[in-house]
Structure 1
Amino acid sequence: MATRAETAVLTAFALETRRVIARRAPLGLGFALVVAAVAGLLELAYYPARLSMLLTAFGAEVVLGVLGILSTRHEALRRHVIPITVAATLGIALCMTVYAARVGASGDALAFALIIFLTGVALLCPWGARGQVPLAVGTAGSYLAALAAGVRSDLPLPYGILAVAGGGVTSVLGTVFLELHRQAIFQQRALLERNRDQQMATLYEVSRTVTSTLELQQVLRLVCQTVLSALGFEHLWLFWREAPERALRGLLAGRTDDQVTLTEVTGDPAGWEPFLHLGSHDVPSLVEPSVEERAALSGPCALPSLVLRLPLRFQSELVGIILADVGNEGRVLTAHFLDLAATLGNSAAMAIATARLYTLVVQQQAELQRLSNRRLDVVEEGMRRMSRELHDGTCQALMAIKLELALLERRLGSDVGALRASVRDIGAQVLDVMHGVRQMSHLLHPPVLDDFGALAAIESTAAKYREASGLEVRVECADSGMRFVPAVELLLFRVFQEALTNVVKHAGARRVTVRFAREESGVVLEIADDGAGFDAHAYFRTPPPSAGLGLLSIRERVAHFGGRLAVLSRPGDGTRIVVRVPAEPVSTTRVAAAG
């Protein structure tokens, strides 16, 4: 893996070098032309008669320089930018040498110009030894060829040769060291970029991991696992509060290979409070716990002598603290490492705070559900008692009055016909009141519901609605003997009762179809009418001020049993209410026992 990474870095460095040469080719070739031009001007100043030869040589040098620059701009030749630039530069040096040999110029001046030429180009074009060695060898060879062609020097011949050769060697060495320096900088930059990418990937993975669940215990495990893995620690201690006013709790996390084990820290939570105030309050820092602080934890949970304190702060609250074992001798913690640790701490603090809030919401929701269930139970029990009282008390009293009136009517003589008619009218009124009270009793809690189940109660209520309002109510069920526990049967009856009341009050329907069926997951009650319909989505999203609690009450009742309510309706298209409740059918004996 390391060899592959090094090869990738070297390949990237070679590409970077070609890009640099392509950018600097005009500068390097321009420098070579400037050296040739300056040398030519000096030559012209002392030897005006050589103007035509100077122009010819300089013209050839310019052509070579322009061709080299244009070639480096061509996309197809970009991969050969180094040999092209070296060839153009060497061509300029050869033109200078040929000119000196043709006109018999000074060999000392030629050597001086070539030395400046070699060293300057080596600095401007960092092509390394593979570019500078051919240029130095070619330049030195052209100088030797000029000497062989008759160019003479005022200094002894070895001086010029040694000067040009030394300039070539020096330029090669300078180029080599420059390339090594550039390569080291490039590798360091690549390492920093790779570390940055790894840290970004780690932070993304940590954020994704710790926010993948809202269960507090799972979040705590994920926080320990990700911090141990991302920072390379073997052990850490996590202290946190389940709520701001509660006592601290602690976990000891250990990592072996890819396995993380968690152990709950036991002891006096009050003794752990000083851990929150170790070191800096806002940034990760290396701290040495005192003897008293280390004494708060003993046995397998004992703290080492040196730990990394990682505060878990969310907004202005310190939700917890992580103490990581860095070893007795410590370790070098760079600024990048501490920044990564701080970012991990922020992510962990946010995840723990969110999980705590979620736990609180779940607890409050459960409490609200318990109170709602209790309220429903109280309401149903009150309605049951009221129904029983109306049936057993009020109806019996009215029946006694009716009997007394009948007895009084028989005792009256034949000469009191008017009084007898009044008594008969009072008896009829008492009978009407008795029927109304009995009907109210059945609406509150029909006895048939307890005795024969929801289906029988629904059919009985449907028959009364057909008789009273002329509404066609049809009940469909494949299994007429299907029974459920009393609580589920009461729920189904209340849903039907509320739906039918809404149909009579608001829908203006002529027909209502009630389907009662079993599914693998429970029981299904469907109520469909052909009435006016309404916008169900708008109703539940923003209930109108005139809306009662009918459908909302149904939804609450169904949710109490873990069921689902679907209301499908559009204006002018009727309404269909579908209720699914998880329930298993039971026998009549079990229903009676449950009741």
Structure 2
Amino acid sequence: MDDSVNELIRVRLARVGRLVTIALIILTVLQVGLFLVLFAFVGAQAAADWLPELVLAILFTLLLGAIALYAVGQAQAAVQRDVSRAVGQELRELHSANDRAQSLQRMASTLSATLSFERVVEQSLDVCSLALEEMGIPRQSLVGAVFLYERGMLRPIARRRFLGNDSNQVIAGKEGVVGAALSQAEPVVTNNPPEDPELKVYEAFRECLTAVCVPLRAGFQLFGAMVIGADTAVHFERDHIDLFRSVGDQAVIALQNAQLYQRLEAEKQRLIEADEEARKELARDLHDGPTQSIAAIAMRMGFARTMIDQDPARAKEELLKVEALAKRTSAEIRGMLFTLRPLVLEAQGLGPAIDALLRRHSESDGIEMRLMGAENGSLLSKRAQVVAFAIVEEALNNARKYSRATLIEVRLWQTDGLFVAAVRDNGVGFDTYDINRDYSTRGSLGMVNMRERAERIDGSLRVESSPESGTTVTLVVPLDKHGADAEATAAEPAAEEPQPVDAAR
């Protein structure tokens, strides 16, 4: 207890003791004074008759004063004892709260310093051991695990005092304390872990007398659960449950960060692989197309040069073949440049760009291709037009390579605030279930790319096909987010934003 508090209590109660003493003295003086007045007015004989009563009154007053002073002394001791106990309890609670705050701070520091989810969940189990320590239970009594979903089952990824084959056991999270916590999205306590239908599969929890399960969730998404147990019967207070919940929230943040990092790394690797594949494909196209054609032009020019003097007519015929080959090579190179950077898309928009793409493929493949609703391409913002063009181009390439179609139609239209683009062919079709199930199947990676592109503009992609009935790929984009009007509205505040003024001028 603080010495200043103790001194304050002593001073205040000492003042009360002094007041009691003064009151006793005043009462005694009054009684003696009253006796002297009687002695002066009624005579010595009458005063002598009152003397025993006076002595008794004075003795009684002194007795009451002694009792009052004793009571003040006892009250002082009791107050000091109660205050000491209350202050000690408050100090212990403050110390515990400080330890919790420091542990959560260390956990937050770990969270900000690393993307390793394993380190964060290990730290979370350390923080939970504080709750047991506060109740006088050693940290070694903690039995805990953090479970995460893996293929629909909960697997322990961080463990404390797990025995034998416990680390390899998985549970469904449908029954017992774990099932209750996950279904209620709230921490749940059990005082009989050995009989819990799911926890009892772990030998470590069969030794526990108390356990609490904390769901790991963010919004409506469940990631798993954290189970904290002790081999001693304990009663978890609300503060302890709140601590466990806070630790679980931190663990979920770490998990989300780790998953986001993994997705970013996967996306980065996918982009690198796509770029490398595009480079390889361009190299193959250049080698198999323009490079071979240029070599053939050089050979034919050499042959024509030798034939000018010997057979001018044949040399002229050869030059005509060289001219045709050069034109064809030029068209191939323009097609490659169009694929790499469709300038018509930037200059004229989505409709003319798709029209140019269809005409180029129709001439090279001999497939009838049609475009309907080209004017609706201008409904999209510039960025959305680039994405939509890439999706239409990918769908056309799939149809050209695999459908064996004789007719391909591209249609653009608007309905209920949505922009819709559909690519339909009359080819052989395919089983969409098999394609989506196996990414290694022909053409499925292209569909994955199209869906990812559609998600970038908040759109959706639907593929409809069946064997011998053709294929339709439909892209739907919300115009309120990615329409040309939305783009213009978003640009207006930027245009009206006041320019900063240099105060030094």
- TM-score of the pair, normalised by structure 2: 0.49
Return the TM-score normalized by structure 1: 0.42
CA radius of gyration, larger in: 1
